[in-house]
Structure 1
Amino acid sequence: MYQQITIVGYLGNDPEMRFMPNGQAVTSFSVATSNKYTSNTGQRVDETTWFRVSVWGAQAESCNQYLKKGRPVLVIGRLRPDPQTGNPRIFNRQDGTPAASFEVTAQQVKFLPFGSRGAGGGEDDFGDMHGSPETDDEIPF
């Protein structure tokens, strides 16, 4: 069996990196995706979904170094369910309303160029999605 999720969105916070006892780096950050549509009643709906992403190893160090809040990214990975329920992690917000957290373990993170927001009918333009360099030697600066 196999599962894969692809997310294209914006970082909701600066990445946070830590090291495991064995010295392996892990970086965490949140990514917001949006879906805009018109409902059956003619109402304009703006839907935002948040994902909590964990990146491991050398890629974790690159993400921590080069990503910042607001940066567009493409994440390819797998969903990590709540071990007790097998579903997204459910919690209550500070205001008491229920919420869910979608946890993703990244296999690949591509750094996308900033698009021209609002151009092309309100959708984001990510340009060509060649993404981040595969190795540190390919970083142009």
Structure 2
Amino acid sequence: MLNRVILIGRLTRDPDLRYTPAGVAVTQFTLAVDRPFTSNGGEREADFIPVVTWRQLAETCANYLRKGRLCAVEGRIQVRNYENNEGKRVYVTEVIADNVRFLESNNQGGGQRGQDTYHDDGKPIDIADDDLPF
């Protein structure tokens, strides 16, 4: 049997780094992946896929990935479930990544900060909705 996934997309928000009670790092983020076709209206559609990373990879992703950055994720699909506050069973499908490749560097554009669309100097950035692939 085989359960392997390879995705290339852009982060919809900064990664969320947390630690388990045992001190193990875990990061969650969502990857927007374009579909290979357009809708009837000619618009591009995307899937928003939740990704989880663990341990050192989680800390690396939290330190270097930011909203809008392009990356490749390799891992496996996992389905988990839990009972919510209303007593309903909730199913969650996510990719557990064992390899994440950063496809854009911090100095994208020849090392000139002015050309890096996603560089925010620690301040909020303003990106128009029509500039985002999702």
TM range (shorter): 0.5 to 0.7
- Pairs within 5 Å for 1:1-141: 1-37=1-37, 43-83=41-81, 102-113=93-104
Aligned length: 100
Unaligned segments of structure 1, at least 5 residues: 91-100, 117-141
Distance 1:67-1:38 versus aligned 2 partners, 3 A rule = closer
Amino acid at match of 1:105: I
Contact 2:80 2:93 in 1 (8 A): no
- Per-residue displacement from partner, 1:64-99 (whole Å, max 9, x unpaired)? 000000000100011112447xxxx77xxxxxxxxx
C-alpha deviation, 1:44, in angstroms:
2.2
Amino acid at match of 1:11: L
Distance 2:94 2:49 in 1: 6
Distance 1:75 1:44 in 2: 28
Unaligned segments of structure 2, at least 5 residues: 83-89, 110-134
* Runs of 4+ off more than 3 Å: none
Distance 1:43 1:29 in 2: 29
The equivalent of 2:113 in structure 1 is none
- Per-residue displacement from partner, 1:82-120 (whole Å, max 9, x unpaired)? 447xxxx77xxxxxxxxxx6411101101002789xxxx
C-alpha deviation, 1:37, in angstroms:
2.5
Higher relative contact order (CA 8 A, sep 6+): 2
Distance 1:38-1:62 versus aligned 2 partners, 3 A rule = closer
**Alpha-carbon RMSD:** 2.4
Contact 2:26 2:53 in 1 (8 A): yes
